[in-house]
Structure 1
Amino acid sequence: MIQKIISYLIPIKIFRKKSARSKIIEVTWTNGELVLDSENTNYSYGSLQRILRYGLRNIGYKTILEMDHVLVLGVAGGSVIKTLIDEIEYKGKITGVEIDPDMIQIANEYFNLNQIKQLDLIIDDAFEFVLKTKDKYDLIIIDVFEDIKMPNFLFESFFSNRICSLLKDRGFVLFNTMILDEAHNVRNRKYISEINTKLFTSKMLPRIEVHNELIIIEKVA
């Protein structure tokens, strides 16, 4: 494909749409691969895929292969799902929750998410879904953004306690956060300090791609 070849020299934008939830969504050929971007940041593939892949490696691919059920809050184009299936060769169930139906349509059309048989895609608000779900999960990936903003509820103790309650024993949370100023640094450290240390261990991974910081929580009992 000529666009793919040219994209090693310059990015080739092939799709752009205004979305009520995500404002601007763009699909672009960059360095030979399709990436999904919002107005100000990468939403899927590209740098975001590298960030979440780093987090999954930290948990351990062998550990993930033994898991039965993964929950992804914030699907966008589905790059972390592709990492799980194509690179780790994960065979278990994946539930993906995405609030923006436009994003799901693009993910299906350009990234073929609807061809993944083990994936159950749900259009819902992450907060609402977490309150309603009756399932328990081995891994919960939180990657919820509105362009470069993160909803406040993600850092509230009610939500984090609920997330932790959905983990199976020895289960993990992989939480992708964005740090743009000192207030965000303080926010992340407060979040870590409020995790129940009797039941969970938590750690922050060093800055990845300049502005992203990953938080990993493990249920130890």
Structure 2
Amino acid sequence: MIKKFLSYIMPIPIEIIPSNVSDQLELTWNNGKMVLDTKHTNYSYGNLQKVLRKGLLKIGIENINQMQHILLLGVAGGSVVETLTKEFKFENKMTGIEIDPIVLKVAEKYFQINTIPNFEIILEDANKFVTETNQLYDLIIIDIFEDCFMPDFVYSEIFISNIKRILKPKGYILFNTIVLNKIDLEKNKSYKNQFENSKFVLQSFPNIDDKNELFLIHKEYE
């Protein structure tokens, strides 16, 4: 625990782990908390947890606790799962989809994500999963990164169409994006346009933690 206490003075590196998906994963004690990073961005239990927490609070604790099934596309260390279970006291079903087997091993070893009784982890490509599933979800959290980059499929019409299909009426989508340049800005503008109809209401929250833009989408009608 000495490293934990010293981390209030300076970050204390713990381990660097190679990953085929994200190049490398970095575990660090920072301000008394274990965080998971890549070379260029936070993956779990740091600023990312704060970003997604803001989106969840926009939905509201009462609304979330009435939900039956939450889908997480992109798990990493599982910080959003911690927020939902410990802070929001969510007790119903959560399913997490993660493509990187290395990051799941890290999440189990360092963050005990496999001990959460109402959370199921599936090792799968998120694009493939949403294409094939017929399950409906009350909330879909999209947080898919390869280091600080987002795969192109998350912006594709097919992926977005599948997300709409598996979202329950009155359900929510929470989509975390990163804006590093003008190309990213244009991608986000195009993304917004795919929800411009009477069925969905989209709110955007730019410049969260400097570079993140968060989309909160509510499916108001069937």
Is 1:175 paired with 2:185?
no
The corresponding residue for 1:190 is 190
Q: Deviations over 1:18-38 (max 9, x none)?
A: 111121101100000000001
Is 1:200 paired with 2:206?
no
How far the C-alpha of 1:198 sits from its partner, in A, is 2.1
Measured in 1, the distance between the counterparts of 2:164 and 2:4 equals: 42
Measured in 1, the distance between the counterparts of 2:175 and 2:79 equals: 15
The corresponding residue for 1:129 is 129
- Please, what TM-score do these two structures have when normalized by structure 1? 0.98
- Please, what TM-score do these two structures have when normalized by structure 2? 0.98
The corresponding residue for 1:32 is 32
2:135 alignment partner, SS class? coil
The corresponding residue for 1:76 is 76
Give unmatched runs, 5+ long, in structure 1: none
Letter in 2 for 1:107: A
Residue-pair matches, total: 221
Letter in 2 for 1:15: E
Measured in 2, the distance between the counterparts of 1:101 and 1:183 equals: 30
Measured in 2, the distance between the counterparts of 1:3 and 1:13 equals: 9
Root-mean-square deviation over aligned CA pairs? 0.8
Measured in 2, the distance between the counterparts of 1:189 and 1:62 equals: 31
The aligned runs of 1:86-165 (5 Å cut-off) are 86-165=86-165
The corresponding residue for 1:22 is 22
The corresponding residue for 1:3 is 3
Q: Deviations over 1:126-153 (max 9, x none)?
A: 0001111121000000000000110011
Letter in 1 for 2:200: F
For the Cα contact (< 8 Å) 1:67–1:92, is it kept in 2? Answer: yes
For the Cα contact (< 8 Å) 1:192–1:203, is it kept in 2? Answer: no
How far the C-alpha of 1:206 sits from its partner, in A, is 3.0
Poorly superposed stretches of 4+, deviation over 6 Å: none
Q: Deviations over 1:137-191 (max 9, x none)?
A: 0000000000011001101111111101111111000000000011211111111
The corresponding residue for 2:66 is 66
Q: Deviations over 1:47-81 (max 9, x none)?
A: 00000000000111110010000000000000001
How far the C-alpha of 1:196 sits from its partner, in A, is 4.6
Measured in 2, the distance between the counterparts of 1:197 and 1:34 equals: 42
2:208 alignment partner, SS class? coil
Measured in 1, the distance between the counterparts of 2:80 and 2:179 equals: 20
Comparing 196-205 with 184-193, greater Cα deviation is found at 196-205
